Structure 1
Amino acid sequence: MTSSSNLINHTERRFQSLLSLTIVVIFLLILAGGIVRGTGSGMGCPDWPKCFGQWIPPTEVSQLPPNYQQIYGAKLKGEVEFNAVKTWIEYVNRLLGVLSGLLVFATVVSSFSFLRKDKAIFWGSVAALLLIGANGWLGSRVVATELAHYMITLHLLLAILVVFSLLFVYVRVSSPQRDILTPKKILVSRSFNKLLLVTMLLSFGQILLGTQVREALDEVVGRLGYEQRANWVDSLDWRFYVHRSFSLIILAFHIAVIVRLRKALHSVWLTQIANALIWLVVAEIATGAIMGYFGVPAFAQPIHLLLAVVMIGFQFMAWLIVNPSLSLSKEASRKAHLLEI
């Protein structure tokens, strides 16, 4: 009996380790996407899935045919220009995408062991696989549409849904091993659930506004060039000012969520999430200020985006945890109710 229990625990721990690695790599993929966007490397590989017709991209222009601009720049009106740094930034982003897909597939295979115990873990993993597959196809459309802004935005939003699917699985598989959240213990109110949902929706809206600011920034860069970086922010339109002002509303809601998580719910897990949100909010404000006052340095853009996605991920985890019907299996819920008796 003991050996069987140890085997189950070992299987669960291996699954959690694989799942944690998968989530980290997905976040790295989002960071890489931000770097591609911030450095203007989106067309560093003008074709897909190969890069300049090769599986391993060239490192110098001499490795390309003399008429490569006509071959690969047909849709770009011959304006494609080889830049080894931008090419490899985009290619590494693609490699991370492939690695993410393989890890999600491995997660689905590993989740078969939970089919009898908790089918939601398996189906959550399958959802992540379908979403990341769809996002891989969408990545090809981003190249095909020559970095159309609406395609880039959809690409990002689908990546966030992949994160949500994996975080659902993580919370579901981890909750029984952490402090079990019973109704008597956390006294979850409808108002707090609404607060978390509204905060997530507002955060989604802020991310969408951020993509609009990025579009406006692209327009400014096209007009002024990189030599006028110091004047970029002053040349932005209303989208930037709405995004900046809306951040104050986002901050207020985060403060409300953090206070409730730390003082009202009395859960170690939720307290850890609250502490993480504090640091994330501070870092997000800092990177936003750096971009606003220091000419939008390239390093700050992807970090700002990544922090926003991690923040909304923690919000989603908190919402799952305070709703035991979503975070606990039927067996774990039954044990939680037995603890109350």
Structure 2
Amino acid sequence: MALIYKIVALLSLVVSFIQITLGGFVRASESGLGCPDWPLCHGQIIPPMEFHTLIEYSHRLNGSVLGILVTTLLIICLINYRSAKRLTIANYSAFGLVVGAGILGGITVITELAWWIRLIHLGIAQILAACLMYIVWEFLFANVRNVHIDLSPIRAWKWKMVLCLSLVFLLMLSGSYMVGIGASSSCSSWPLCKGLSIPEGLTYQVHMGHRYISVLSLAFVGYVAIELITHSNGSRLIKRIAHSALGLIGVQIILGAITVWSGFSSHMKVTHLSVATLVWLSVILMSILVERSFSKIVFDSDMTVEKV
């Protein structure tokens, strides 16, 4: 049963990432009303084979698969791992989030793609992915209570991670807001907008606001990642996660520029969102590492545990 739970947990995380990517493609290709009704599509279980309809329908089907996987996770957890409080809470949370995301998906269609509903929908999807990442970590390393990182002072580092998570989450929501009000393609140059750092006009300012939040959040994530590498006590696991975060930051900056230079092609928009999700998940992992570092157990990348 442990192997089954591990497989379902990993599949849930992968499918949640695919769901976010598909959601981005639905939005970028303007296929949100490819299925104008809910929960059916054009009043049918199997809809017409049309481009926009198929894109929206694939998003719904993937969401259904995700719901089944998360429900399966919760059932297995309650049967076999109820005594693991953190894992149980995480599974209940994931179940509640996937139900909420499904309901909001229906409301999004009913309200004919209201931008603020789509923003909340994306936020819940990202929190769900973070929750599933935590479940994967908690179960794969169930025998490990903490990872030791030489961080001081502890309280300051806890606030650093809270700020890090908040900034990246705000970055993703600001991107959704920018797209929602039609400001995503307002600035056709990079890094400035029409040669100005603060252009006139609401749509231009919203677009540049997203860029400034990007600079602030990615710079702070980079700082935290470098600090973790510096204080990793030689742990290859910590270094790999921090290096991954740094690499993703670099890729995301380049993708942001290419998205502008490509004329805001739908494929680049989707890729930009996907990498943003990976940055978010890397920050989730770093936060778990920091939270687990405040103990007397050391865990290295060779999966050996030794008491200090």
Which residue of structure 2 lines up, in the alignment, with residue 62 of structure 1? Answer: none
Which residue of structure 1 lines up, in the alignment, with residue 287 of structure 2? Answer: 319
Q: Check conservation: 1:230, 1:294, Cα contact below 8 A.
A: no
Which residue of structure 1 lines up, in the alignment, with residue 52 of structure 2? Answer: 86
Shift of 1:216: 3.5
Which residue of structure 2 lines up, in the alignment, with residue 294 of structure 1? Answer: 262
Distance, in Å, in 2 between the alignment partners of 1:145 and 1:218 is: 21
Which residue of structure 1 lines up, in the alignment, with residue 208 of structure 2? Answer: 241
Distance, in Å, in 2 between the alignment partners of 1:22 and 1:248 is: 31
Tell whether 2:263 aligns with 1:262: no
Q: Check conservation: 1:216, 1:237, Cα contact below 8 A.
A: no
Q: Check conservation: 1:15, 1:107, Cα contact below 8 A.
A: yes
Q: Check conservation: 2:183, 2:206, Cα contact below 8 A.
A: no
SS at match of 2:181: helix
Question: Could you tell me the TM-score, scaled by structure 2's length?
Answer: 0.85
SS at match of 1:323: helix
Q: 1:179 to 1:275 in 2, by over 3 A?
A: farther
Distance, in Å, in 2 between the alignment partners of 1:103 and 1:56 is: 22
Shift of 1:306: 1.8
Bigger radius of gyration, 1 or 2?
A: 1
Which residue of structure 1 lines up, in the alignment, with residue 242 of structure 2? Answer: 274
Distance, in Å, in 1 between the alignment partners of 2:184 and 2:175 is: 14
Distance, in Å, in 2 between the alignment partners of 1:263 and 1:123 is: 33
Within-5 A mapping of 1:101-120: 101-112=67-78, 113-116=80-83, 118-120=84-86
Which residue of structure 2 lines up, in the alignment, with residue 161 of structure 1? Answer: 127
Can you give the 5+ residue segments of structure 2 that lack an aligned partner in the other structure?
A: 195-200, 297-303
Q: Check conservation: 1:320, 1:327, Cα contact below 8 A.
A: no
Q: 1:163 to 1:111 in 2, by over 3 A?
A: same
Q: Which amino acid aligns with 2:97?
A: L
Distance, in Å, in 2 between the alignment partners of 1:119 and 1:322 is: 20
Which residue of structure 2 lines up, in the alignment, with residue 30 of structure 1? Answer: 20
Shift of 1:274: 0.8
Question: Could you tell me the TM-score, scaled by structure 1's length?
Answer: 0.77
Shift of 1:337: 11
CA deviations 1:5-40 (Å, max 9, x no partner) are xxxxxx434322211111000000000000000000
Q: Bigger shift: 202-211 or 131-140?
A: 202-211
Distance, in Å, in 2 between the alignment partners of 1:26 and 1:326 is: 30
Distance, in Å, in 2 between the alignment partners of 1:168 and 1:237 is: 37
Q: Check conservation: 1:125, 1:169, Cα contact below 8 A.
A: yes
Q: Check conservation: 1:175, 1:327, Cα contact below 8 A.
A: no
Q: Which has the higher helix share?
A: 1
Q: 1:212 to 1:270 in 2, by over 3 A?
A: same
Alpha carbon RMSD of aligned pairs, Å? Answer: 2.8
Q: Check conservation: 1:321, 1:327, Cα contact below 8 A.
A: no
Tell whether 2:135 aligns with 1:145: no
Q: Check conservation: 2:229, 2:242, Cα contact below 8 A.
A: yes
Q: 1:12 to 1:326 in 2, by over 3 A?
A: farther
Shift of 1:323: 1.4
Shift of 1:174: 2.5
